[in-house]
Amino acid sequence: MTDVIVSESNSGSSNLFQIDDNWKKLTGKGVSVAIIDSGIDVEHPDLHGKIKESVEAQRENKRIVFEPSETGDSAGHGTACAGIIAKIAPDAQLHSVKVLGAGGIGDGQTFLAGLEYSIKKRYRVINLSLGTTKPQFFAPLHDLLDRAYQAGCIVVAAANNLPQPSFPSVFSSSLISVIKSAETDPYNFGFHYGEIIELTAPGVNVRTPWLGKGYRNLTGNSFACPHIAGIIALLLEAYPDLTPFQVKSALYAIAKENQENPARQTNI
């Protein structure tokens, strides 16, 4: 299969590049993926040796800084997301940016700081299986996502599990937003062009790593998001210079092919 993707050019006009299925044979080698979440259990057998960096938010006076973390995962959520990415892209460089505490609870300012930290580090993929519905964070999140886009960071955000829209997943012009489907093949994702939440990916009864070196079957948009982050890591290994716009174009073309050939399956 070969798809033609429309890409941006410096002159403002469009040009074409081609993408084939060879990316599916890759492992995400050399691609940095930040997981902004509750931390990651680095001792889990599915993740041991795969976490390149673990940092967590600390308050210094009125500032939020990130220091090396040895506290692991305080909720299990980040470990689950990391495990999904590692299964699809086992050689990706995973970076844990801990902004959530016990029970997966955190505050908006720490969330913003974690996103800013990841953008400054220029991690190629940023997984956000979290969000906020508080309107005061609309503008600062929008500004940060513009910075991420300009820095070449591909931000992937989970939609809210409740009907109420959440930020930043609604900013579909500057990130890739994901909602769960009952699909089980991570490569057979869908794309709803023109909708606010564009991508659909496996997120129902997903088997994931959990605390205590165990596993859980989990359902939610949080677990659809890292499926797409893992897919993007494979694409970026194959095509390292893709811009965020080109990545979204590639995902759309692949999803369109999935729709036209529903019998085409890839097992991992």
Q: For the segment 122-159, what is each residue's pLDDT rounded down to a tens digit? A: 999 999 999 998 989 999 999 999 999 999 999 999 99
Residue 13 lies in a domain: no
User: Taking a C-beta distance cutoff of 8 angstroms, is the pair 127, 35 a contact?
Assistant: yes
Q: Which of 13, 83, 76, 19 is CA-nearest to residue 48? A: 83
Residue 22 belongs to some domain of the structure:
no
Q: How many domains does the chain have?
A: 1
- Report yes or no on 255 lying in a domain: yes
Is 130 a member of any domain?
yes
Which of the following is catalytic: 174, 177, 222, 249?
222
Reply yes or no on whether 192 is catalytic: no
Active-site residue, 222 included: yes
User: Does any domain span residue 6?
Assistant: no
Q: Is residue 164 part of a domain?
A: yes
Which one of 77, 129, 166, 227 is the catalytic residue? 77
Runs of H (alpha helix) within the chain: 77-88, 108-120, 138-151, 221-238, 244-260
Q: Which domain holds residue 112?
A: 27-260
Has residue 36 been placed in a domain?
A: yes
The pTM of the full predicted model, rounded to 2 decimals, is 0.91
Tell me, yes or no, if 37 is annotated catalytic: yes
pLDDT of 190-205, one tens digit each? 998 778 899 999 999 9
Q: How confident is the model at residue 94 (pLDDT cuts 50, 70, 90)?
A: very high
The verdict on residue 155 lying in a domain is yes
